[in-house]
Amino acid sequence: MSKKKIITGDILKDAIKGAFIKLNPKYMMKNPVMFVVEIGFVITLFLTFFPYVFGDKGENIRGYNGLVSFILLITVLFANFAEAVAEGRGKAQAESLKKSRTDAIAKLLDSKGNFKLINAAKLKKGDIVLVETGDFIPNDGEVIEGLASVDESAITGESAPVLKESGGDFGSVTGGTKVVSDWLKVEITVTPGESFLDKMIKLVEGASRKKSPNEIALSTLLVALTIIFLIVIVTLYPMANYSKVTIQVSTLIALLVCLIPTTIGGLLSAIGIAGMDRVTRFNVIAMSGKAVEACGDVDTMILDKTGTITYGNRLAAEFIPVGRHTLEELRTEALISSIKDTTPEGKSVIELAKKQGVSINEDDYKDAEFVEFTAQTRMSGMNLSNGVQIRKGASDSIIKYVEKINGKAPTDLEAAVIRVASAGGTPLTVCVGNEIFGVIYLKDTVKPGLTARFARLREMGIKTIMCTGDNPLTAATIAREAGVDDFVAECKPEDKIAVIKKEQDLGKLVAMTGDGTNDAPALAMADVGIAMNSGTTAAKEAANMVDLDSDPTKILEVVEIGKQLLITRGALTTFSIANDVAKYFAIIPAMFAVGIARMNVLNIMGLSTPHSAILSALIFNAIIIPALIPITMKGVKYTPMKSEALLRRNLLIYGLGGLIAPFVGIKLLDLAVTPLLRILNLG
């Protein structure tokens, strides 16, 4: 994650301006806790000029009311400032994204293949455009023809260009990216203003941010606490009069503001915005705050093997003949089956066979029909012009294929498959007609460091499930080496959906990654679906997060960011409520000490005068909000541990800290405020 300053000069200037703009009551009503503080400011400001409306008396009462009013205004401004800072960081990133959105000129193709130049803003969904070297892709779309390198650094920050081609999972292109070599024909899949880049800009600006369920629940709790303390303060006034104790209305308002959870109320929105900002700075676009929080509650993580747990570059490493067939025969047939196979595996078979001395005339097979691999058949191959059919694929699929045409698997095939699978490789079985010639050993490698990362997830209480199309033996070997908790072998797209549904039926939240169109249903069903930016449009539309770097393992870090968001909110809520307890011991004794001498027993801080005690508590209540902005922006550091240990740690740090900090802070402020009040004759 890129490390940047929490507050830059531009963000500071905009945040100060935003703090005043947000004083608008229409906006403040969205935050009930701070709206109560603003109402308190208006009342005390009125009493500064008309102190006798409620019967307030006393020397220099106007000056006292004015100070209370000023501090309440500062409190609201600080809360607005915290939110504006969080929004400012998002807007700064949005500005950099807007720079990549150019008023491009598109080459619109007609039915005859000719193009005319038009403004990209005039393109419609379904239009076909030509983009050549140096051209910007005018809008989101799918490649329908061509092969080209595309520079996506404006969006992903990654300098290396990526290869885009028609078909497969790398046919999706994003508006604002640039073709650096060759050409593409692209079918536009969105209307202007609804591109992926447009959505990103709205999201990082915060314009589309909605409160998550947890945030709504906490807001409801804060409102309930505010109402309870409001009732307490209203009843306290007649009780004080009955006890022959005179309490100014401004003092009651000060008590209310100090007792309601103003700290978390002022920071709550900023915490949510900052959480989305941290995910965005990690080059992941969250489609909602709910998605980020859901990451923190994830119980089960479903991961593809290829490209996530392993590097995915399964390359042919060895030919293993079976039955009565020779090594030379297997090499030749494997090479023929791969002539038109453009996958990395197919290319590696050709390379290995040629390296071992096999030579054929590829022109002899130009009329042959290539049979592509599918998740259902789990095999590919060639139908030669002479009627011969060659297939290579998963062992069980090939066995079923030859048995359908009266063939039989050699007795030594199982041993060859087990040998490859036991080594963690993928066995690719080759057959010609109804005869199995042998096995190709495809070698894959588990990414280093994954075992430790999966162990960290286990400490968080998250179960990891690996999904792979490999046979059970290969899957078990890779799962054991990687350290995942469970695996699903010979997994088809519908199997992923079944796994997600099974876990959700147990009451668990499920996360998964994907990039292909066949992953879209599972991504939509998962509670957290992270689509790769290099993947298809269908996958990105189905997911609630998009990884701009197309790194499937990033889901591990995203889960930690989600947990950090939840912990930050919980920690600051604990700190805020603990603060209120300490402020109670500052204000209550000060309010009643004049009329009830015994109340001085509760003045455990030894505060100088009632006015200094109230103003010191009120000032501390205001300045603690900006003091906590760095924690709000960065988040509380998350360390994997059991929930009980995590709760104890946060109670010790933020609960106990929330109790101690006000005692120290209010006492220091009292020492500073008392001389000032004497000068103003308010002591």
Q: Is 634 annotated as a binding residue?
A: no
H helices present in 101-212, as ranges: 153-156, 196-205
Whether 342 contacts 515, CB under 8 Å: no
Tokens coding 596: 């009830």
Q: Is 375 annotated as a binding residue?
A: yes
Q: Is 70 annotated as a binding residue?
A: no
Q: How many helices (H) and strands (E) does the chain have?
A: 24, 20
- Long-range Cβ contacts of 5-13 (<8 Å, 24+ apart): 6/85, 6/89, 6/629, 6/630, 6/633, 6/634, 7/85, 7/88, 7/629, 8/92, 10/88, 10/92, 11/85, 11/88, 11/89, 11/92, 12/85
How many Cα atoms within 13 Å fall on the side-chain side of residue 189?
18
∠601-605-608 over CA atoms, to 5°? 90
Q: Is 480 annotated as a binding residue?
A: no
| Residue recorded with tokens 């909000």 | 625
Q: Is 391 annotated as a binding residue?
A: no
Tokens coding 116: 């005319």
Other C-beta atoms closer than 10 Å to the C-beta of 681 total 9
Question: What's the CA gap between 41 and 257, in Å, rounded?
Answer: 10
Give DSSP secondary structure letters for 60-99.
THHHHHHHHHHHHHHHHHHHHHHHHHHHHHHHHHHHHHHH
Question: What's the CA gap between 98 and 679, in Å, rounded?
Answer: 54
- Long-range Cβ contacts of 385-393 (<8 Å, 24+ apart): 388/432, 388/433, 389/432, 389/433, 390/333, 390/336, 390/337, 390/430, 390/431, 390/432, 391/337, 391/430, 391/431, 392/334, 392/337, 392/338, 392/349, 392/428, 392/429, 392/430, 392/431, 392/440, 393/428, 393/429
Q: Is 515 annotated as a binding residue?
A: yes
Catalytic status, residue 580: no
Within 8 A by CB and 6+ apart from 24, the residues are none
Whether 510 contacts 302, CB under 8 Å: yes
Q: Is 444 annotated as a binding residue?
A: no
Tokens coding 194: 């609804």
Question: What's the CA gap between 508 and 564, in Å, rounded?
Answer: 19
Where does residue 233 rank: exposed (0-12), middle (13-18), buried (19+ CB within 10 A)? middle
Whether 149 contacts 161, CB under 8 Å: yes
Question: What's the CA gap between 76 and 84, in Å, rounded?
Answer: 12
Whether 663 contacts 582, CB under 8 Å: yes
Q: Is 378 annotated as a binding residue?
A: yes
Q: Is 341 annotated as a binding residue?
A: yes
Angle between helices 32-49 and 249-259 (to 10 degrees): 160
Q: Which of 127, 135, 304, 670 is catalytic?
A: 304
Q: Is 376 annotated as a binding residue?
A: yes
Q: Is 519 annotated as a binding residue?
A: yes
∠72-76-78 over CA atoms, to 5°? 110
Which residues are bridge partners to 187 per DSSP?
Answer: 128, 142
Question: What's the CA gap between 314 and 346, in Å, rounded?
Answer: 10
3-state per-residue secondary structure call for 429-460: EEEECCEEEEEEEEECCECCCHHHHHHHHHHH
Cα distance from N-terminal residue to C-terminal residue, the chain: 52
| Active-site residue list | 304
The binding site for Mg(2+) comprises 515, 519
The binding site for ATP comprises 341, 345, 373-380, 392
